[in-house]
Every structure is written in structure tokens, then in C-alpha cells.
Amino acid sequence: MHQLLLLSSLWLLAAPPASSIFQRPTGSPAPPRPQYLLEPLHTTVHTQRGATATLPCVLRALPSNYRVKWSKVEPANYRESIIIITNGLYHKNYGPLSPRVRLRHSHRYDASLTITDVALEDEGRYRCQLVNGLEDESISLTLHLEGVVFPYQPRNGRYKFNYHEAKRACEQQDSRLATYQQLYKAWTEGLDWCNAGWILDGTVHYPIINSREPCGGRLLLPGVRSYGTRDKQRDRFDAFCFTSALQGSQVYFIRGHLNFKEAGQACRNHGAAIAKVGQLYSAWKFSQLDRCDGGWLADGSVRYPITTPRQRCGGLPDPGVRSFGFPSQELRTYGTYCFTGQ
């Protein structure tokens, strides 16, 4: 009995204090901090122009004194533009998207962003950021519009646009300057164009499927050739524009021997407008518009869309929108393509 008591006393003397038993050993990793933002199942949201789209951002729990900030990464300058900030109770909208965005807020943990009447410029990368003291979290999502890229040059020939003029020209044709990702995707789908053009980030490229002498030589592999970043004010090239389908819209052809002015009036007589180049490309791509007839468009050019290539419709082996260029606007030879939509 005395021996047992002695052993117990020795153990108590040798044992570390109770508080030190639960202390983390020096150098051991800290316990993981809680992850408040759920990783989305899909990081790309597909939508159409004119539709309503929701980018998901859901919290696991509500930390104290938190804010959620939505922003968009602008491809032209790689800066983030704030869209909306909320603390769960109140929110504030910012920037040009302000009238068309809201928080879905289907439950208390939901900070998802809803965009109404989706526009071409809405495509891109978005960030949902939880601002919570010293350690923030964020998730990135991409809003993707199915679209089509087309090269564009003005009436007075190739290589006439500086960057700002190219941007404005695309916008006038119901489109916008394409991003590099959009141009690259178009190249993988068959876009082959020898003339270099501006894209949204201020760089200049041209996509080649069939290597040939006038387009860099036969020895260069196919690809998206690059001129790199150019002077936006002084340097002059064509433009690569991007457009997408618009819900509820239609492009159709009116047959006739019309000059340019008569073509516009013919469309107005039907309660429509003469179609823009981007609208014709969209109808060709998404509505499979296929006609052998050349028709006037709003920029004064004459074009026709071919989805099923055949010998009597230009003879080219690939689908596409063919062009007769910019004939005299007094010429009474063509019909017209009209556009109705929102």
C-alpha cells in the first residue's frame, strides 16, 4: 500500500500541468480555418443575350461582421469593377450593370448574383468575395454567351481602324470587339482570315487554318497569329467582332431589285429595320439562315448567308457569310435583309 502511494506521488510530480496537456506543440500546424463559401458545382454559367442569368455564391454559415462583394474582371484592362456589396441586410449597386443586377437571396445564406436582360458586354469572369476581417475568401465564375466572331472592315478598305474606331464599328454592327478566348474558339471552329484585326484587350491577331504564302508563309503552322499589343491611337487594322443570338429576334430576306435607300424603306414597311452585319451573322450561326440572294445591310454592304455550301451559291466549300463588298448605293440589283427583335 505504501509503495502504491509513493508511485502515485511520483507520477503526479512528473506529469505536466493540466493546462499544458492541451497546448498545441510548437511548430505544429494551426487547425484549418472554416471555409464559408461553397465551391460551385459548375464554374461556367451558359446563357443567351436578353435572358436572365444567375451566378451562384452560397455561404455555409454567416460570420459576424461580414460583407459579400461581387465584381467583374474587365478583359480590356484586367481591372475589377465592383458590381454590388451586401452585408446580408443591406446592399448597394455600382457601375453600369447597376440597373440590371440584384441578389437572388432565396435564403439567408444565398448571395448569388442575378443579371437580367443579359448583354454582350456581360460575358466574362466574375468574382464573389467574402470580406471577413483579416482573412477573405473568393470564388470565380464565368458567364458564357454562345456567339460568333466575324472579321469587319469599312467601306474604304482594309486596315483603316485604330482601336477606338474598331470598337465603335463593332458596336454599330450589333456586336463588340471579340476577346482572345472568343477569337481562339472561332479559329478552332474554322475561322480562317488573312487580315489582322483588333480584339478587346488592345492586341492584334489573325486566325489561319490553311497556311499560305500571303498569310505568313506555308511553313508556319496553323494558329492564331499575333502582332501583340499595338498603339491604340496610331496603328490601324481591321476588327474582329463578336455577337450572339438575341431572344425573340428574326432576320429575313425581302426579294427585289432595290437600291440601298429602297432596301431600308422596304424593311420599315414591314415594321422591321434593315439588318446589321452582326445580326446577319447571328441568324446564320444560330437560326441556320441559308440564302443564295445578296441583300443590303445597314452599313451599305451586300452579303448573303450560306449554311449548306453548293456550287451555284459562290462555290466555296465551307459555310459562311459571303460578301459582295460595298457596291454603289444607287445600284438596283439586290434585295434586303430585315431584322425584327426586342
Q: Is residue 35 very low, low, confident or very high in pLDDT (cuts 50, 70, 90)?
A: confident
Summarised one tens digit per residue, pLDDT across range 137-170 is 999 999 999 999 999 999 999 999 999 999 999 9
On whether residue 323 sits in a domain, the answer given is yes
Residues 234 and 273 in one domain: no
* Res. 23: pLDDT tops 70: no
- Domain span at residue 42 reads 37-145
- Picking from 119, 145, 171, the residue at the C-terminal end of a domain is 145
Residues 211 and 277 in one domain: no
∠ Cα 77 79 81 (to 5°): 125
On whether residue 13 sits in a domain, the answer given is no
- Picking from 111, 145, 179, the residue at the C-terminal end of a domain is 145
On whether residue 18 sits in a domain, the answer given is no
pLDDT at 133: 73
Residues 68 and 79 in one domain: yes
CB 283 within 8 A of CB 267: no
CB 175 within 8 A of CB 120: yes
pLDDT at 229: 95
Residues 236 and 152 in one domain: yes
Taking the C-alpha atoms of residue 335 and residue 303, their distance in angstroms, rounded to an integer, is 10
Residues 185 and 237 in one domain: yes
- Picking from 94, 116, 145, the residue at the C-terminal end of a domain is 145
pLDDT at 27: 55
CA proximity to 289, closest of 304, 272, 310, 270:
304
pTM for the predicted model, two decimal places: 0.83
Return the higher-pLDDT residue of 329 and 34.
Answer: 329
Residues 221 and 296 in one domain: no
On whether residue 316 sits in a domain, the answer given is yes
- For residues 167-193, average pLDDT: 96
On whether residue 1 sits in a domain, the answer given is no
pLDDT at 247: 79
* Res. 24: pLDDT tops 60: no
Return the higher-pLDDT residue of 78 and 122.
Answer: 122
Domain count, the chain: 3
On whether residue 26 sits in a domain, the answer given is no
pLDDT at 284: 97
Give the CATH number for residue 273: 3.10.100.10
The mean-pLDDT minimum among 3-12, 104-113, 166-175, 310-319 falls in 3-12
Scored b (16 or more CB within 10 A) or e, 252-268 reads: bbbebebbbeebbebbe
pLDDT at 281: 97
Taking the C-alpha atoms of residue 129 and residue 36, their distance in angstroms, rounded to an integer, is 11
pLDDT at 225: 94
On whether residue 15 sits in a domain, the answer given is no
Residues 103 and 129 in one domain: yes
pLDDT at 246: 84
Residues 114 and 156 in one domain: no
Q: Is residue 214 very low, low, confident or very high in pLDDT (cuts 50, 70, 90)?
A: confident
Residues 214 and 251 in one domain: no
pLDDT at 45: 97
On whether residue 268 sits in a domain, the answer given is yes
Residues 172 and 225 in one domain: yes
In three-state form (DSSP H/G/I as H, E/B as E, the rest C), the secondary structure along 54-110 is EECCEECCCCCCCEEEEEEECCCCCCEEEEEEECCCCEEECCCCHHHEEECCCCCCE
Residues 111 and 156 in one domain: no
CB 153 within 8 A of CB 239: yes
Give the CATH number for residue 58: 2.60.40.10
Residues 131 and 55 in one domain: yes
Summarised one tens digit per residue, pLDDT across range 48-57 is 899 999 999 9
Q: Is residue 196 very low, low, confident or very high in pLDDT (cuts 50, 70, 90)?
A: very high
Summarised one tens digit per residue, pLDDT across range 235-255 is 999 999 999 988 789 999 999
pLDDT at 33: 59
Return the higher-pLDDT residue of 271 and 6.
Answer: 271
